[in-house]
A = this chain, B = another copy of it.
Amino acid sequence: MRQGRVDIGQRSETVHRANLSAIVRGLHERGPLSRSDLVALTGLTRSAIRALVCELVDAGMVIEEPALRLGTPGRPSPIARANPRRALVLGIEIMVDSIAAAIVGLGGVTLAESRLERPRGSLSPDRVVADITELTESLLRRVPAPPIGIGVAVAGVVRRSDGLVWAAPNLGWVEVALGDRLARALALEVPISIANDADMGLLAEHRRGAAIGVNDVLYISGEVGVGGGAIIGGHALTGVAGYGGEIGHMPVNPGGKSCRCGSSGCWETEVGEGALLTLAGLPPDSGREGVEAVLRDAAAGDPRSAAALDHVGRWLGIGLAGLVNVLNPQLVILGAMHGRIHAAVRPVMEGELDRRALRAPRDSVHVVPATLGVGAPARGAAELAFEPLLADPAAFFGSAAFSTQLASA
C-alpha cells in the first residue's frame, strides 16, 4: 500500500454518533427545533429521532419541552432545545488593545463575559497569560461548572495543531507557545484550541451573524494589521498548518510602501488603520478614536479625511477584486475598522471591485459590514471550543459538567 490510512471505514456506531451529532449541532446552531423539524432536517424516521432525542435528554444535553400550539393541525410536536447549562466553554480573545473572555453555554447563550482594556504595547505574553488567568477565574466563579473546552482567538499567525503563535506583530510576539502556557496557567484539564482572530470572527459571523447559512464567505478584519478568513464550500480555509488568511500581506502594489513584514506594497500598507490615519493627518497609532475622527471629519466636509477614506476604499476594492477572483465568495464581510468605514467607502470600493473583478464572480458577491461587532472573535473561539462536542456528543456523555444539578433536577 502506497500510503497510510486515510478514509476510515464506517460502522453502525459511526452512524449513531453522526446522527447524535446532527441533532446536537442542529439545536446548537439553529436554536430549538421540534421533533418533526428534526425529522425534516435529518431525513431520519420519527422512531429514530425519538430514540436519539431521548438518549440526549437522558444525557442532559437536550431539554424537551411541551409542544407549542402554533395553530397548525395535527398532534403538536415536543420542542427540543440544547441545554445551555449542560456544557460550557470558555471563549477568549487577545486583541491589540483588549483582552476578553466569555462563558458560553451549549446553544450559544453567553452566560458571563468580561473585558480588560489594555493600552497597546503592554501586552507581553506573561502579562496576557496573567490577565487571562484572572479573567477566567473570576468568570468561572459565576458559573457552577468547569468548561468542557477553551477557545482562544489571537491577533497573530497561529499553528492550530499545538497553539504556537508563530508571530503576532501587533502584539510584539514571536514564537510564543501560547497553548502550553495557557494550559499550565489555567490548570483546567480540558482541550485548548488556539486560532487566528479573523478566522474566529468569521466563525462567529457564520454561526451567529451576517453569514448564517452562507457557505462561501470571505471575512476581512482590519485593525492595526489586516487579517482575514474564508469559508469556501462550507470548509474553513485554514491551509496546511492553519497559517492561511494572511490577506494583509498580499502584494497589491509591489513598488509601494515598505511593510512591517519585510516586504513592500502589502495590502495592509494601503488599507490598514495606519494608512488611513496617516493619510488623514492623524498619528498612526490614534486607534479607534482616530478612525471615528476621520469619519466625522469627512462627513463634515474635511477634504483630507475624505481623500484618506477614498484611498483606503479604492485599495480595498482592488484587493477585494483579487480575492473575489481567486475565491469566488458569495458574501464578503467587513469586520472591525473596515466594517466601520464601510458606508463611507462603499461607492469607491464597489466601483473598483466592479472594474477589476471578473463579471461572473462579481455577479454573485455582496459586500456587507459585520453584524457582531466587538467580541466576535471571542464568540468564534467559543464556537471552536464547542466543535469536539458537536462532532461527537456521545464522547461527552460521561463527563457531566453539572452532575449534581442533573441528579437533583
Contacts and interface: CB of A to CB of B under 8 A. Distances in A.
Interface of A: 1-3, 5-12, 14-15, 18-19, 22, 25-26, 30-31, 33, 37, 40-44, 48, 157, 159, 166-167, 212-213, 215-216, 228, 232-233, 235-247, 249-255, 261-263, 266, 318-319, 321-323, 325-330, 355-361, 364
Contacts of A3: 30, 212-213
Nearest to A52: B9
A387 B261 CA distance: 42
B22 A361 contact: no
A293 to B, nearest CB: 28
Nearest to A232: B237
Nearest to A238: B233
B249 A252 contact: no
- Most B CB atoms within 10 A — which of A240, A246, A255? A240
B26 A7 contact: yes
A12 B243 CA distance: 38
A369 B189 CA distance: 47
A341 B32 CA distance: 58
A263 B321 CA distance: 10
Contacts of A330: 240
A214 to B, nearest CB: 9
A9 B48 contact: yes
A228 B355 CA distance: 21
Contact of A240 (B33, B321, B328): B328
Contacts of A43: 5, 8-9
A377 to B, nearest CB: 19
Given A30-B1, A246-B325, A9 B37 contact: no
Contact of A246 (B25, B239, B358): B358
